[in-house]
Amino acid sequence: MLSISGSRKSYGYRWLTVLLQREGWPVNHKRVYKLCHAEDLGVRSKKRKKRASYLRVVPAAPTGEKQRWCMDFVTDRLEDGHHFRILTVVDVFTRECLALHADRHLSGRKVAQVLEGLGQQRELAQEITVDNGTEFFSKDMDAWCQRHGVRLDFIRPGRPVENPYLESFNGKFRDECLSQNWFLD
C-alpha cells in the first residue's frame, strides 16, 4: 500500500482499494481507509495545478490498424442555447472516424458504453490517446480498460498538440459540419 501511494500521491483510499484488490489482496475500503488514516496517506486537499506524473515520451507512429485510437469531445449549441457534446473516436493509422456520439451530458459511463458498442463492431485498439478530462479518469473508464486490456495514454495537461490527428479532425468536423448546420434538438 505504501509503494502504491508513494508513486500515486493523488490516489485516495478508494483507488488504493481497487489497486490492492487487483493485486490479489483481500481488503475492503474500510480497512484501507483505517490504514491510510493511520499512516497519514490522505489526499492533499490543497488545489494544485495538474502535472504529468512522468516525462512524456512521444509514442512511435503506429504501423497498422487497431494499434492506437484517439478520442476527445467537440462542444456546440442547439437552437434553444443548450450545449451538447460530441465524442469523436479516430484511428490514428487510417485516420478513419470510428465513432461520433452526441449527447447533452457525456459521463465516463457513457463513453465506456460507446466504446463497448464500438468493440462489438470491430476489434479494439491496444491503446487510446486521450486528454485529461474527468470522463477519461472515471472509475467506469478504468474498469472498462481493465476488462478489455486497453491502455489509456494521457497527454500532458494543456498540450493538445500531443493529439494532433484528433485535433485536426475536430477542426474539420467543426468547419464542415457543425458551423454549416443549425441543430434544433
Q: Which residues contact 157 (CB under 8 A, 6 or more apart)?
A: 49, 50, 51, 52, 131, 132
* pLDDT computed for residue 61 by the predictor: 76
Question: Which of 48-52, 81-85, 167-171 is predicted with the least confidence, judged by mean pLDDT?
Answer: 48-52
Kindly report the average pLDDT of the chain as a whole number.
83
Quote the CA–CA distance of 6 and 169 in Å, as a whole number.
39
Q: Which residues contact 110 (CB under 8 A, 6 or more apart)?
A: 87, 101, 103
Domain boundaries, the chain: 2-39, 68-178
* pLDDT computed for residue 44 by the predictor: 55
Model confidence pLDDT, tens digit, residues 27-81: 888 888 888 777 777 665 556 565 555 555 667 778 778 789 999 999 999 888 8
Q: Which CATH superfamily hosts domain 68-178?
A: Ribonuclease H-like superfamily/Ribonuclease H (3.30.420.10)
Tell whether the model's pLDDT for residue 168 goes beyond 80.
Answer: yes
